[in-house]
Chains A and B, each alone.
Chain A
Amino acid sequence: MKQLIALILCCTLFGSAQAAEKISGNAHDFTLSSSLGKNIRLAEERGNVVLINFWATWCGPCRQEMPHLEALYKRYNRAGFTILGVNVEPDPNESKKLLKEIPVSFPILYDTESKVSEMYGVDAMPTTVIVDRNGKMRYLHRGYKPGYEEDYRKQIRELIRE
């Protein structure tokens, strides 16, 4: 009997949080070196809807997500949308190798010291933050599961129309 009570107790105390949620606040500004050969600064993207994707080559779901991000970029880039793929690995060569196999057209930024990941409180791999045209954070997605790209698409369209 005691065990059954303990069982019920432990289960009801489980917290609940969503994998995708609405968030608010200014998107912290940062500057990182990029695959375009120059430094890229988040604040310079103001006026565009920005999808910041924190990823790594060793993370399976991150690699799975890449082609979907590329499709979104190609589709909405001209409507004022961009993606910043922030690679969190200390060695940028790892991502350069992977991108030869899965090339993307959007810029890849190298957060080699994890400063930006820490600033954004990244607690899952991958993490996607969608920022509106005024530099405000609007949506947060933790992890990636097939089907998430549909949510991204809806949210991007909503923010483009604003």
Chain B
Amino acid sequence: MSRIAKLTSIFCLLTWLSACSVQPWVKPYERENLADPIMSFDGDPAASKYLNHVYEAREAMRGAEGSAGGGCGCN
């Protein structure tokens, strides 16, 4: 199976699994610390994009820099 096909399948499997009901063990009203701005993975997107570029231009490694998620989980 090609790499791309593998990735697509993993993504679909994960989203399918999410249809099963799992009770969240961290309640929405317990998300205070996680919602704190200092807890975000990427606090300043412009600043971190620029620094990633500095490294990518001088080192062989590329990829797997970003991620979403976390935060207050409101709405």
User: Which A residues are closer than 8 A to B by beta carbons?
Assistant: 2-3, 6-7, 9-11, 13-15, 54, 56, 58-62, 88-90, 114, 117-118, 122-127, 143-145
Mask: chain B, 1-34; 1 = CB below 8 Å from A; 0 = not: 0000100110011011001010010011111100
Q: Closest A-chain residue to B36, C-beta based?
A: A58
Q: Are A10 and B16 in contact (CB under 8 A)?
A: yes
B25-75 at interface with A (beta carbon < 8 Å)? 27-32, 35-36, 72-75
Q: Are B29 and A58 in contact (CB under 8 A)?
A: no
Chain A residues positioned under 8 Å from B75 (CB to CB): 61, 124-125, 143-145
Q: Are A122 and B29 in contact (CB under 8 A)?
A: yes
Q: Closest B-chain residue to A121, C-beta based?
A: B27
Q: Are A123 and B28 in contact (CB under 8 A)?
A: yes
Kindly list 5 other residue pairs between chains A and B, CB separation below 8 angstroms, not including A3-B9, A6-B13, A56-B32. A3-B5, A9-B12, A15-B19, A114-B30, A125-B75
A71 CB, min distance to chain B CBs, angstroms: 20
Q: Closest A-chain residue to B75, C-beta based?
A: A143
Task: Among A14, A88, A143, point to the contact of B74 (Cβ < 8 A).
Answer: A143
User: Which B residues are closer than 8 A to A by beta carbons?
Assistant: 5, 8-9, 12-13, 15-16, 19, 21, 24, 27-32, 35-36, 72-75
A9 CB, min distance to chain B CBs, angstroms: 6
Chain B residues positioned under 8 Å from A3 (CB to CB): 5, 8-9, 12
A63 CB, min distance to chain B CBs, angstroms: 10
A–B complex contacts, Cβ < 8 Å, 12 sampled: A6-B9, A7-B12, A13-B16, A13-B19, A15-B19, A15-B21, A56-B29, A114-B30, A124-B75, A125-B28, A125-B72, A125-B73
Chain A residues positioned under 8 Å from B21 (CB to CB): 15
Q: Are B27 and A117 in contact (CB under 8 A)?
A: yes
Q: Are A124 and B28 in contact (CB under 8 A)?
A: yes
Chain A residues positioned under 8 Å from B29 (CB to CB): 54, 56, 88, 114, 117, 122, 125
Chain A residues positioned under 8 Å from B9 (CB to CB): 2-3, 6
